[in-house]
Amino acid sequence: MFFVTPAYAEEAPAAATGTDAHAAPAAGEVHTETGVAGGEHARGPFPPFDSTTFASQLLWLVITFTVFYLLMQKVIAPRIGAILDQRHTRISQDLEEAGRLKAEADAAVQTYEGELAAARAKSNAIGSAARDAAKAKAEEDRRAVEASLSEKIKAAELRIGEIKAKAFADVGTIAEETAAAVVDQLIGGTVAKADVAAAVAAAKKEA
């Protein structure tokens, strides 16, 4: 930082000298607008390199650095640290939650697979039992039907035998009556039943 102190000179009134107020200034007179004597620019070292201002520059540097350091230490760094801690805590919580959900999902998958395997085994057992029961029931029904048919066949055979025996008995009686009627028609007389029965019996033997 530097300071420039311009030197001011009194300007002679134009009315006292009788000269023009806009006349060129005399040699050695200082312009009030620029503060430079004789119309020439002041020459000197570049202000940051001016040894006469080193002390003030160092003072302001120390003050600025101290303020910036305190600002960083008291305000910016704590806020950044709090934000980072919050992010770290949030990430840790998210990771823990993700791990917990993954463990629950794995446990659910294992439970589902176990239940599915048990259900498949149970269905296979039920299917096998149903097939065995159906086979046993079909075999039992078949045997019952065969037994019923065998009994019916035996009953039918007995009935047929009875019918045949009765038919044969009726045939003998019918033959005797027919023979008696034929003899009566042919010779106009009657024949003893014993003779007719003997003749029918002889005819059956010959047949």
Q: How many whole angstroms separate alpha carbon 185 and alpha carbon 180?
A: 9
Q: What is the dihedral of CA 15, 21, 25, 28, to 10 degrees?
A: 40
pLDDT value of position 171: 66
pLDDT at 16 over 50: no
Query: pLDDT averaged over the chain?
Result: 75
What pLDDT was estimated at residue 6? 41
Which has the closest alpha carbon to 1: 56, 59, 72, 61? Answer: 56
Burial readout 106-129 (b: 16 or more C-beta within 10 A, e: otherwise): eeeeeeeeeeeeeeeeeeeeeeee
Could you tell me how many residues make up the chain?
207
pLDDT of 36 strictly over 50: no
Q: Which residues contact 9 (CB under 8 A, 6 or more apart)?
A: 29, 30, 32
| DSSP, res 184 | H
- Least trusted range by pLDDT, from 3-12, 23-32, 41-50, 128-137: 3-12
Tens of pLDDT along 153-202?
988 888 898 887 777 676 667 776 777 777 666 666 666 666 666 766 66
pLDDT tens, 39-64? 445 566 777 777 778 888 889 999 99
